[in-house]
Chains A and B, each alone.
Chain A
Amino acid sequence: MNALISQLINLFASVILILAFAMLSQRRIVNLIHLYTWQGLAVVGSTTVVAYVTHQHHLFYSAGLTFLLKVILIPYFLHRLINRLNVRWDIETLFNIPTLMIIGIVLVVFAFNVALPISKFSDTIAHGTLGIALACILLSFLMMITRAKAVPQVIGFLAMENALFLAATSATYGMPMVVELGIALDVLVGILILGVFMFQIREQFDSLDIRHLEKLKED
């Protein structure tokens, strides 16, 4: 039974990794939001399973909170945002997707090897997940680096938060409830601020391309 449960958690983690790769190579903004929603759902799934196995009730609450926040509220907010900004069908030019994915693979190998010694000493049920979570964090970082538009960058940031959350549940069975509530609130406030920020960028430069921010530096 335990083996099956840990496999289930690993499966959820792998789905999150697949979705991280999909986000890395997705051009359409609206699809990015869908992928983010699915990733949130997978995080909820893995948290629920961990909560069920370890009988830690606060993890159930945090799963519920995550669901509320990452599957309903934030995607809803993002959809409204891109409708208001009128970038729903925007397509971003990326440089060569296979190259990006090869860099991604190198990051995955690196992350797995970094995590391997740590997870060997960990006795939690899903110790293998730590490597995947670390890989997801690096991939989201890569996504933020390669994007030039504001909305995908925000989504990259949010995906990174997802991955951190996964790392927290897999390595330590979650953080204390207070910390989690705080983070949830932070993310929500962060996204509100970023939303306002994006409107400001657009008003200033008539575009969401953050390369325009380079003009703001002092000469």
Chain B
Amino acid sequence: MEDRIEKIFSEARRLSLTADEKSAGREMLRSYMALTPMVAPQQTAKKPAFGFARAWTHKTAAAFSVSLAVLLSAASVSYAAEGALPGDLLYPVKVGVNEEVRATVAVSAQAKASWEAERAERRLAEAEQLATRGRLRAETRIAIEAQFRNHAERAQKGIAELEDSSDIEAAANVNAHLEGSLRAHKKIIAMLADDSNDDDDTQVNALEASVDHETQAAEEFRGKNEARVAAEASTEAKTAAEGRRGAAVRKIAEVRAYLAANRASLGDSATAEAEARLDEADATVAEGNAKLDAGENGAAFALFAKAQRQAQEAKLLIRAGNELKIKAKAGGLRLDLNADVNAAANDRGDATVRHEQDGGAPAGSTDDGDQDAGKDRRIDVKTDLRIGSGEDRHGAKGGTDAKLDL
């Protein structure tokens, strides 16, 4: 009997990683180790059990301080690189080092997909920043757009894989993040569409099409995901809905904190808009709670996901207000913060913005000629950002004034 048990166990012990898996794991570990270097060993006298601790001599002390200095300066370079834009000296560090390292340390499938979604979002933010500075040229836009699509598609592939492995909650979580980001950027890009010079304008429009495409994919996925939850047994759907609620509540709290930190630079009316948006997200959560109490778990799941999306959108709109220096005038910059994000089907391509420069120049024909370099340039824009049906796309009702400081 003992022999038989041993034989069976030795059979089971044959399970192993493939050579490829093992070398991929080794590489991942090696990159991670480079990121987390050894600090000076603590002990000196005792014989080390695993040979890691070494006698602490002046020589090794010097060596450690040199490597520490190298690491610290590498760390400050990579920190400085975080704000870099395409064309900047440090941009390759941001994309090729910082982001790759983070991709390597994202171990779980959810973390990997989230990071891809985040990278897609970063590319859009870069394009927007370049556009507001009049630096978005065709070749840059094409490169950014290719990267954006690449990351968005990888995020979507990751989401689909999470769904396939029955991790519906994780899939919904990443998708809500991605979709919320895409929708916010769609609005921001639409706002920038008629801005500054013609070349940028063309580039921004081209980018908008790509964002549209990916947003649609995210919306389609959400539809399937929600249908799947609705079809689940009630206890499972309830657990899934409760999981989504947790994620939504956390996201709202995160964005409130973000808003609090940026209140000063954002200005009162944009702050009020963002707060209103977050209150709406809270209301959506309350609505979801009511559905949950009523046993309508599928509907509750969809509402909590919506709240999470609303919060993510609010966050990116706050950031755009901040970084792109889009400031509100009397009445506030209405980035259509009241639009029903659930009206997804009506929404595609219909968010319109009209900018009218001082002097009544027609939209889209802004003239660069009178801009002195270095002069603070203010363009009064008439913003009409609406979500509606395609027919009255160019209608002007509900327009509010906003000022674009460049």
Query: A and B from one assembly?
Result: no
Residues of chain A having any CB pair with chain B under 8 Å: none
State the B residues within 8 Å of A (CB): none
